[in-house]
Amino acid sequence: MKNGAVRAHGASRKKIALRFFSKHRPPPAMKCCEGGVRTKFLGKSYMILDAFIHQINNQVLEMDCIFCKIAAGVIPCFKIYEDENTLAFLDVAPCADGHTLIIPKKHSDAFVEMSPEESGRLFEAVNIVSNQIMDKMENITGLTIGMNTYETAGQTVMHTHVHIFPRFKGDGGGTTHSIVHSAKSSDPEHLKKISEKLTK
């Protein structure tokens, strides 16, 4: 590693990178190169490793995560709501008018990797934004709220997010019950076994 390189571990170098990124968004004069990006700060050249995770205002930003970049203001979005921990913006490929994504600003790959406290704050925002959408969208008569968690469930962006789909009378959409039909049985004995497994 050459002089001036920023490593993921190393407080003073981390501070330098933090200062840099809090002043320049998006960072100017960044050149992509193998393993990261090279940039100039105070006359010195710095290598920011791909794996390097830095913080802006307590946000954890992963350089290769599109929603972290949106949360940091590096990539634009159509913002609907923001608070200290949460950001809501329109989905770029909407399934319905007003299709909104709500993300925690702090990176986690998926919902189950958040702490209960963090997920509580996320769902406070989901409630606020749901009411905002119900109040402001014309002719809206309902909502479907959901999360695809991990690839099997269809998650394509690996930064926790909640979808809010506005629903309109006669929109032809389905219900959450239309997502999967893989249950082996609805027999009470079968349900009992599963409940025991889940509570053991």
Which positions are catalytic? Answer: 161
Residue 49: CB atoms within 10 A of its CB come to 16
Of these, 16, 18, 66, 114, which contacts ligand AMP (CB under 6 A)?
Answer: 66
Residue 151: CB atoms within 10 A of its CB come to 10
Q: What angle do CA 8, 64, 92 make, to 5 degrees?
A: 150
- Residue 157 interacts with which of ligand AMP, Zn ion, none, CB < 5 to 8 Å by class: ligand AMP
Q: Is 65 one of the binding residues for Zn ion (CB under 5 A)?
A: yes
Q: In what order do the strands lie in the sheet with 31-33?
A: 31-33, 36-41, 44-49
Of these, 6, 48, 68, 77, which contacts ligand AMP (CB under 6 A)?
Answer: 77
- Residue 17 interacts with which of Zn ion, ligand AMP, none, CB < 5 to 8 Å by class: none
3-class SS of residue 123: helix
Q: Is 176 one of the binding residues for ligand AMP (CB under 6 A)?
A: no
Of these, 8, 53, 155, 171, which contacts ligand AMP (CB under 6 A)?
Answer: 155
Which helix (H) or strand (E) is 69 found in, with range? helix 66-71
Q: Is 164 one of the binding residues for Zn ion (CB under 5 A)?
A: no
Residues that bind ligand AMP (CB under 6 A): 66, 75, 77, 91-93, 101, 148, 154-157
